[in-house]
Amino acid sequence: MASSSSSIVMASSSSDEACGYDVFLSFFGQDTRDSFTDHLYHNLRHSGISTFRDNEGINKGEQLQPEFKKAIEESRASIVVLSKNYATSTWCLDELLLILEQRSKGDYLVLPVFYRVEVTDIRNLKGNFDIQVKPSSKWTYDNVNKWRTALKQVADLAGHVLSGPETSFLREIVDTVYNKLDLKEVSLPLNIIGMARHEEEINSWHVGDVKSMK
């Protein structure tokens, strides 16, 4: 894969930003970047939760860039959006390894979000999650074994499975982050609220029947 520079976006935060981020978002861009993950990011942002995400997602190469490793290490939690093609990306799988490694150190929340996938397919490594060794420098026996173990581990964690309206689903995720990280609700300035409403209006022009989730 060709490498390219990435644009990194961080939301406003209710926590001390000197300590890093509240949440790191891990997701497969082609599945959810411009839809679910974008709505999730803006819900977190408008709720005052400091959030790190890759805002470009153009082919980034096989090696995880240092700023992503640093962001995971400096976050208090990671939300892993497990979508249909998440496990086809070595980038996502390497992120998952780092996220679970951070969790093993203690006091780190990993919240899996099962987006239009079956939890049992991930736990049992079926379909797109049945990853195998390939003739590639990354898809080696050792790497694939680590990734398969990581997928099983994340599938066994308590998380959120999409059911019902996405607006309610997004609110549940934000509420979980608040409760688990013991964050306090923040009052957004009027100008920020106005910007959020303006974004909702613009978004409604483009998504048709799908309501704004911000």
Instruction: Please give the positions annotated as active site.
Output: 95
Rounded CA-CA distance 111/97 in Å is 14
CA distances from 55 to 20, 23, 42 (A): 18, 15, 12
The three state secondary structure string of the chain is CCCCCCCEEECCCCCCHHHCEEEEEECCHHHHCCCHHHHHHHHHHHCCCCEEEECCCCCCCCCCCHHHHHHHHHEEEEEEEECCCHHHCHHHHHHHHHHHHHHHCCCCEEEEEECCCCHHHHHCCCHHHCCCCCCCCCCCHHHHHHHHHHHHHHHCCCCEECCCCHHHHHHHHHHHHHHHHCCCCCCCCHHHHHHHHHHHHHHHHHCCCCCCCC
Rounded CA-CA distance 91/173 in Å is 24
